[in-house]
Amino acid sequence: MIGAILKKILGLGLMFVLTTCWSAPDSRPEKVDVAIATSPSVISYYPFEIAMAKGYFKDEGLNITRSMFAGGPKAMQALLGGSADIAVSAYANTLNLAAKGQHLQAFFLMIDYPAYAVGLTKAGQAKFKGFESLPGLKVGVTSPGSSTHMVFNAIAHRHGVNVKSYSVIGVGALAGAASAAQTGAIDVLVGIDPVVTMLTNSGDLKIVADLRTGAGTFEALGSRTYPEGSMLASTEFVQKNPKTIQALTNAMLRAQLFLQTASAVEIADSLPKSYQIGERDLYLQAIQNTRTVYSKNGRYDPEGIQAVLKVLTEFDAELAAVQKKIDVSATYTNRFVDVALAAQKK
């Protein structure tokens, strides 16, 4: 009898210790309710989508409120306006905004390459004789000012084309992009999977620059690495909420590791069915086509950071004018992902 009582007391004591450790003030996020602004659910942002779908953020003690916007610029507006704490967007935004005196910091890298493909629609194939023939053509991007727009401008500039000589039209990343390409509303599409795979398989798109691989990125931009899709926050938010940023990073690393080992079927089945575009076999093919874009560890490579800066300053006169005044090292950090990686190894 006495032994049973002692066993119960010891059990309650152990439970108290575990509960106390889990809820200890020094291990809990400073901000539990986190608002995140994102663009559409394209494959290049699937690390975030996986973390949401599989409950990894909840496991870290976070309650995520997610707002989806038509393109990166709107998501950035939400972040800068204070309605979002975090933005899922392109790393390049940190540099563009630093030129304007606004300070953001990228803390987790999702993809090593832009993950876009530049393709000619049936309407554009007869007009396109090389990138030098871009003047006068209609180019579809996710939204004006987005990373798809910036990267395309960089490609055009590298071919000696004035970036103001062609029309830029926002077509979104999913159904709108597919419709614009199929109806001939645009001549060129800067597209993202799964739409790119769907359109190329149907013959509605002919790829002329593929930035879904290191080789294609090097051919288009002159760099084998080009950090894009990232988790961004204001520098002030990162400084005030390091435990929250660490919790977000821990969840994102779990998602990144899942994407490295899961099959295309496992990835598709982990996400809402509404994310699927077209036939399932085609959707699985699109996932497979984009597997190589995901970062292996979520870290930023200084060489890649410099590649983005070089690309942007080639055609952005405002950024080029203040380039020397920008503290590039302050636009990103590997501090949190290094902690997460060390914990994962243990």
Q: Taking residues 282-310, report their average pLDDT.
A: 91
Q: Higher-confidence residue: 54 or 224? A: 54
**5 exposure class (CB count in 10 Å sphere: 0-12, 13-18, 19+):** exposed
Q: Where are the domains of the chain?
A: 30-112+227-345, 116-221
Report residue 229: phi and psi, to 5°: -55, 120
Q: Which range, of 136-140, 163-167, 272-276, averages the lowest pLDDT?
A: 272-276
For residue 165, is pLDDT > 70?
Answer: yes
Output the pTM of the full model: 0.84
Peptide bond into 194 cis (omega under 30): yes
Q: What is the pLDDT of residues 102-121, one digit of tens each?
A: 999 999 999 998 888 999 99
Confidence of residue 130 (pLDDT cuts 50, 70, 90): very high
Q: Taking residues 275-300, report their average pLDDT.
A: 88
Top-level class of domain 30-112+227-345? alpha beta
Answer yes or no: are the C-beta atoms of 110 and 47 closer than 8 Å. yes
| Predicted local confidence at residue 26, as pLDDT | 66
Q: Which residues, in sequence order, are CB contacts of 292 under 8 Å at separation 6+? A: 113, 212, 213, 214
| Predicted local confidence at residue 159, as pLDDT | 93
d(CA 176, CA 141): 10
For residue 19, is pLDDT > 80?
Answer: no
Mean pLDDT of the chain: 88
Answer yes or no: are the C-beta atoms of 155 and 211 closer than 8 Å. no
d(CA 171, CA 173): 7
Confidence of residue 344 (pLDDT cuts 50, 70, 90): confident
pLDDT above 90: percentage of residues in the chain: 64
| Predicted local confidence at residue 331, as pLDDT | 97
Strands of the sheet containing 116-121, edge to edge, are: 167-170, 138-141, 188-192, 116-121, 205-210
Q: What is the pLDDT of residues 31-48, one digit of tens each?
A: 999 999 998 777 888 999
Which of the listed CATH numbers 3.40.50.300, 1.20.120.420, 3.40.190.10, 3.40.50.11540 matches domain 116-221?
A: 3.40.190.10
Confidence of residue 21 (pLDDT cuts 50, 70, 90): very low
Q: Which range, of 84-88, 157-161, 165-169, 233-237, averages the lowest pLDDT?
A: 157-161
Q: What is the pLDDT of residues 306-337, one digit of tens each?
A: 999 988 888 778 888 888 889 999 999 999 99
Q: What is the pLDDT of residues 232-254, one digit of tens each?
A: 999 999 999 999 999 999 999 99
For residue 22, is pLDDT > 70?
Answer: no
